[in-house]
Amino acid sequence: MSKKAILTFDEKQYEMRIVEGSEGERAIDITELRAKTGLITLDQGYGNTGSCESAITFIDGEEGILRYRGIPIEDFETTPNFVEVAWLLIFGRLPTQKEYETFADELSEHAYLDENMRLHFESFPRTAPPMAILSAMINALSCFHPELHELETAASVEVAAARLISKIRTLAAYAYRHSQGQPVIYPDPALRYVPNFLHMMFSQPYKRYACSETVRNALNLILILHADHEQNCSTSTVRMVGSSQANLFASCAAGVCALWGPLHGGANVEVLRMLAQIHGGQITPKEYVELAKKKDKGARLMGFGHRVYKNFDPRAKMLGRIAGELLPQLGRHDPLLEIARGLEEIALEDPYFIERKLYPNVDFYSGIILRAIGIPIDMFTVMFAIGRLPGWIAQWWEQRQTQVNKIARPRQIYTGNTKSHYIPITERR
Ligand code: SDX
């Protein structure tokens, strides 16, 4: 297979190296394009542009494959352990028993927040969007950990990762409790990751929340399925910010802001609103699918479509099945699940969606499972952020190790005014 690409421009030929990944993906290396030809590339939305080489996550969008450090996500379903997967993503291999226990103990020990951080929550309006609080408080957290601003070694990254991955739960739970006008529930170091989070979310001073094995497994798996997804919008944001040598906390706080968008992590909230609208009788599933096809209406079939997957998102497949299994296990019936299944069936048989290869993505069923667990809709995207945090840390650290001092700075094609001059205001018409 050719290892070179030839660009012919202005009757000249330019050779460019072909880079090939471990799964056979190939790219034209255009590192010297501008120096050699004076040309840049233009690729709005970066649909054809690789920003880096990475060994963390592999996606095959045509085949609907997703692997973390080579391990298919389906392998994590039997004994879902989010903390173990977080370690795998960040450090590149599955932890030994000792490494896992040490990391898990770190997370349990460091879930608490400095009391001054807890007081910060009082300054937010109760109606403050939790993603705004989360981003602000992740940045604020760095003020209490100046020793973690400079991370040069894997050991220091493990400490920072443990603090962030542990405390993001507490930040999320405190934001929720504040929005409800309820007292915060302090973390319990005797509890492991998911039970401790749900304890902080739902226990009361007079009644402790008990996390069932079913809920514990379901939420571990949801977090695992959200843990990384190569160079998506929020991860690319984390890398972009980290490329300026900004610290890990600032980079992840920026990632939260990118994830918040309804076209990205915010879609899980929009899916539930769409399903509720149909359930409320304002519109039928068929009518909604027709509406989503009309460009001028601005509506989209939320939870459908993906920049990379042109087949089923493997996460959506798993989440759709888990939703069907979990609800009966919890003694729940959710009419929104039937509506979702109906929407999926209509869309998958509709030429508009078939031609555009639009399938359910990770957000289509995740909200139904979160709802069954008792997570309020306003916290859905926060749950996505909790799950995605290890992926952001892994990608930030990989970049820090491989592209030291290479700040990300794309070019542009200027389409504004050609040269003009300043006109004093007294002479303007
Ligand atoms: C996530 O990148 C990642 O990996 C993200 C993510 C992760 O784990 O990090 O997987 C998480 O963000 C999942 C996506 C969640 N967002 C949604 O569910 C919102 C609804 N989906 C879309 O807005 C859209 O599909 C995107 C944003 C997900 C992808 O957009 P693209 O790749 O830019 O595709 P596009 O907008 O160019 O659409 C191509 C065509 C267009 O029609 P034409 O102009 O060709 O006629 O498909 C249409 C679009 O109008 N289209 C849809 C649609 N998605 C695309 N039409 C109706 N409903 C939709 N959902």
Distance between CA 412 and CA 410 in Å, rounded? 7
Q: How far is the CA of 305 from the centre of ligand 1 (A)?
A: 4
Q: 112 by DSSP, 3-state: which?
A: coil
Give the pLDDT of residue 17. Answer: 96
- C-alpha dist (Å) from residue 186 to 111, 213, 313: 9, 22, 37
- C-alpha dist (Å) from residue 24 to 3, 20, 60, 347: 12, 6, 11, 32
- Within the chain, which residues score under 70 in pLDDT? 403-405
Helix axes 213-225, 363-373, angle to 10 degrees: 150
CB 65 within 8 A of CB 58: yes
Residues with a catalytic annotation lie at 306, 363
Give the pLDDT of residue 298. Answer: 83
Give the pLDDT of residue 301. Answer: 96
Closest residue by CA, ligand 1 atom 22? 305
Give the pLDDT of residue 42. Answer: 98
Distance between CA 54 and CA 48 in Å, rounded? 16
* Pocket of ligand 1 contains residue 17 by CB under 6 Å: no
DSSP character at residue 60: E
* Pocket of ligand 1 contains residue 200 by CB under 6 Å: no
* Pocket of ligand 1 contains residue 379 by CB under 6 Å: no
331 Rama sector, left if φ>0, alpha if ψ -120 to 50, beta otherwise: left
Q: How far is the CA of 4 from the centre of ligand 1 (A)?
A: 33
- C-alpha dist (Å) from residue 117 to 145, 249, 301, 381: 12, 15, 39, 22
**Closest approach atom of ligand 1 to CA 230:** 4
DSSP alpha helix (H) spans, 349-379: 351-355, 363-373
Q: How far is the CA of 304 from the centre of ligand 1 (A)?
A: 7
Distance between CA 171 and CA 146 in Å, rounded? 18
* Pocket of ligand 1 contains residue 300 by CB under 6 Å: yes
- C-alpha dist (Å) from residue 310 to 62, 64, 314, 328, 425: 5, 8, 11, 31, 55
Closest residue by CA, ligand 1 atom 24? 305
Closest residue by CA, ligand 1 atom 15? 264
Instruction: Work out whether strand 57-60 and strand 65-68 pair parallel, antiparallel, or are unpaired.
Output: antiparallel
What is the distance, to the nearest Å, from the Cα of residue 58 to the centroid of all Cα atoms in its chain? 15
* Pocket of ligand 1 contains residue 174 by CB under 6 Å: no
Give the pLDDT of residue 5. Answer: 96
Q: How far is the CA of 159 from the centre of ligand 1 (A)?
A: 36
Q: How far is the CA of 408 from the centre of ligand 1 (A)?
A: 25
Closest residue by CA, ligand 1 atom 33? 307
DSSP character at residue 297: G
Distance between CA 383 and CA 182 in Å, rounded? 20
Closest residue by CA, ligand 1 atom 20? 302
Give the pLDDT of residue 404. Answer: 61
CB 255 within 8 A of CB 364: no
Distance between CA 194 and CA 217 in Å, rounded? 9
DSSP character at residue 427: G
Sorted by sequence, the CB contacts under 8 Å of residue 167 that are 6+ apart come out as 110, 111, 113, 141
Distance between CA 422 and CA 349 in Å, rounded? 59
Lookup: tokens for 140:
């604020």
* Pocket of ligand 1 contains residue 301 by CB under 6 Å: yes
Buried b / exposed e along 218-237 (16+ C-beta atoms within 10 A): bbbbbbbbbbbbbbbbbbbb
Give the pLDDT of residue 403. Answer: 67
Distance between CA 3 and CA 5 in Å, rounded? 7
Distance between CA 384 and CA 361 in Å, rounded? 13
pTM for the predicted model, two decimal places? 0.96
Give the pLDDT of residue 296. Answer: 83
* Pocket of ligand 1 contains residue 57 by CB under 6 Å: no
* Pocket of ligand 1 contains residue 269 by CB under 6 Å: no
Buried b / exposed e along 102-113 (16+ C-beta atoms within 10 A): ebbebbbebbeb
* Pocket of ligand 1 contains residue 354 by CB under 6 Å: no
Q: How far is the CA of 151 from the centre of ligand 1 (A)?
A: 36
Q: 272 by DSSP, 3-state: which?
A: helix
